[in-house]
Amino acid sequence: MACLCGCGTTIKTCPHENCGFAIPARQEIREAVMSGLSRDEVIAKLVSTRGEAIMASPSFKGFNILAWVTPFVAILTVGFLIVFVLKNWTRRKIDGGSGTTAVEPNADDPYTKKLKEELKDLDS
């Protein structure tokens, strides 16, 4: 059960010595247990009087399922994106180092012909 005084902790671990919420809530829980209510009945009673906000973790039903599933879906999605990006980066590094692709020279290009002639002159 969450403490609703604003501390962000549970009723059991509320750091305030004179908490206006945790102390009466603990007393209410004690009285409910002493009257013979089961754990689920005590929880249902507190939720009916204080609202769903008293639950330290959301119940696994209805729209709250999204609160349970979303973190796992987000972690998996980010993991796949990281793997995808890293594979692309490493593929570029292996292919050419500069990230550019090699272009085959056009044999009809006058600059290519001139380059081949000059390279032949250097070899001889």
Q: For residue range 83-103, what is the model confidence (pLDDT) as tens digits? A: 999 988 887 655 555 555 556
Number of domains in the chain: 2
- pLDDT at res. 82: 96
> Are residues 43 and 76 both part of a single domain?
no
- Please name which of 49, 44, 58, 56 lies closest in space to residue 24, comparing C-alpha atoms: 49
Model's pTM, two decimal places?
0.47
pLDDT of residue 100: 56
Stretches where the chain sits below pLDDT 50 are none
| Among candidate residues 10, 27, 57, the one where a domain is terminated | 57
Mean pLDDT (the chain) is 84
User: Could you report how far apart the first and last alpha carbons of the chain are, in Å?
Assistant: 88
Domain boundary among 57, 74, 101: 57
**Pair of tokens at residue 22:** 């945790």
pLDDT of residue 92: 66
* Two structure tokens written together for 94: 């292996």
Domain extent for 37 = 1-57
